[in-house]
Amino acid sequence: MHTAYRESIHELIDGTIGNIRRAELERHLADCTDCRAWLADMEAIRDTAGSLDPLEPPDGVWLQIAGRLRQEGRVALPPARQPARVRHVALLAIAASLLLAVGAAIVMLLPQYRTNNAGPRAAAVGTPAPQPGNPGGDVAVESVEAEFRLAEQHYQNAIAKLEQAVKLDQAASGQNGNTLDAQTAAMLQKNLQVIDQAIAESRSGLRSDPLSAAALASLFDALRSKVALLQDTIALMNEMRKGNSAGAAQIVDGLNKS
Amino acid sequence: MALVERCRQGDLGAFEELYRAHAGKLFSVACRMLGNTADAEDLLQEIFLSAHRKLDGFRGEAALGTWLYRLATNHCLDYLRSRAARTDQLTDVLDDEPGYFTAGSPGLAEQTVTKMDLERALARLPEGCRAAFVLHDVQGLEHREVAQALGIAEGTSKSQVHKARHRLRALLSERH
């Protein structure tokens, strides 16, 4: 190959050669087999390079970027999530109304329960206990306990309806190929197990001490956590179905922190 | 600039839009610069997190894509240098290797250049000319854009791409 024409050949390949040099190079190429072969090699390399397949990063890369931006507080939080599917709106509305009613009842009843339960225990530290012959304290305790049993039942109903919605979503997502990835599914399962364990332990505590305000508060905390987790699971599946990986990443990130 | 402005204001949806528009190109560059996808995935994260941090400094003198290419190639080159330092590899002298052009090689003759052959040969190129070649011949940038992306003169971009083609020809002709 004649080195004098090397740059001209590259410029010809790049499409940047001027008319005069192009004409000169073409005259040379007509007579020089080596330079023609060299030009063919350069063109083959450029053409093959230009045909290399574009590479796409896996989806997980964006999820991790979004998670880190959120963790570092560098992005605004999204507006409140709305379930997208109409056929679940009724279930979710029922669950929400139950929770509002139950939540309000618990807020009103828990201090009363603590006050009523303080009697026998407070006596041990010198506070007067309810007087014998005055049944008012026992009646109040039974009444409040009944309210709590009712409240717990409402929670259980809400949880059952949410679980039903989750199952429907999972079935629909499976049909559409939008299933949760194994890592997220395992994390949700683990969080559910932890919450169920907390519910079981709180119930066990209440069985051995039905008047324990701490066990009761713990039970309702765990029930609230379960409701929130189920709501997040539904929201996550909705975001995935919409193809909103940013929204899904934020929910997963929130679940990781919870 | 509207998209950049929304990103600056912390709009994650806007940043995802920016990511979707450019991630494939930058990932392709990173894979070919680093030679493996696992490192490229890690680096892609760092590139976009860095882009998010530095968006305030983006004034629009260059196209957003070129600005991102520059960020990506700088990350790749820094990574390669630190990897070379860890493994005691001497790579910084290769771009100016003497006898680069004068060394004779049999040429490709009638051999077909397959994509796989080219990918393998690419991984053996010196870093500087590999970056210029990937941006110019693979990604299709003009020399002016390659120069902006790598922070070099346009003439240097041309000479690096030309060196890369020479070297690739020699590497590909060694196949048989």
Encode pLDDT of B17-27 as tens digits: 999 999 999 99
Q: Where are the beta strands (DSSP E) in B11-149?
A: none
Judged by CB atoms closer than 8 Å, whether chains meet at A55 and B28 is answered as yes
Instruction: State the smallest CA–CA distance between residue B73 and chain A in angstroms.
Output: 16
Q: Does B44 touch chain A (CB under 8 A)?
A: yes
What percent of chain A is predicted at pLDDT more than 70? Answer: 58
Q: Does B8 touch chain A (CB under 8 A)?
A: no
pLDDT over threshold 80, residue A248:
no
Q: How far is CA B147 from CA A13, A130, B73, B154, in A?
A: 18, 88, 12, 5
Q: Does B31 touch chain A (CB under 8 A)?
A: yes
Q: Report pLDDT for A50.
A: 95
Q: Pick the residue with more confidence: A205 or B29? A: B29
Distant-in-sequence contacts of B104-107, Cβ < 8 A, 24+ apart: B105/B169, B105/B170, B105/B173, B105/B174, B106/B173, B107/A37, B107/A38, B107/A41, B107/B169, B107/B173
Q: Pick the residue with more confidence: B53 or A94? A: B53
What are B85-102's pLDDT values in tens digits? 666 544 443 444 444 444
pLDDT over threshold 50, residue A131:
no
**Chain A residues touching B24 at Cβ < 8 A:** 54-57
Q: For A85-94, A230-239, B103-112, which range has the lowest pLDDT when averaged over its residues? A: A85-94
Q: How far is CA A136 from CA A122, A142, A211, B128, in A?
A: 17, 10, 16, 88
CB-CB contact of A35 with A5 (8 Å)? yes
Judged by CB atoms closer than 8 Å, whether chains meet at A246 and B13 is answered as yes
pLDDT over threshold 60, residue A184:
yes
Neighbours of A179 (CB within 10 A): 14
pLDDT over threshold 70, residue A174:
no
What are A36-95's pLDDT values in tens digits? 999 999 999 999 999 999 899 998 899 999 989 988 888 876 554 444 454 455 556 555
pTM of the full structure: 0.55
Neighbours of A226 (CB within 10 A): 22
Judged by CB atoms closer than 8 Å, whether chains meet at B16 and A246 is answered as yes
Q: For A79-88, B110-119, B120-129, which range has the lowest pLDDT when averaged over its residues? A: A79-88
Chain A, chain B: beta-carbon pairs less than 8 Å apart: 113
Nearest CB neighbour to A66, from listed B12, B115, B138: B12
| Mean pLDDT computed over every residue of chain A | 72
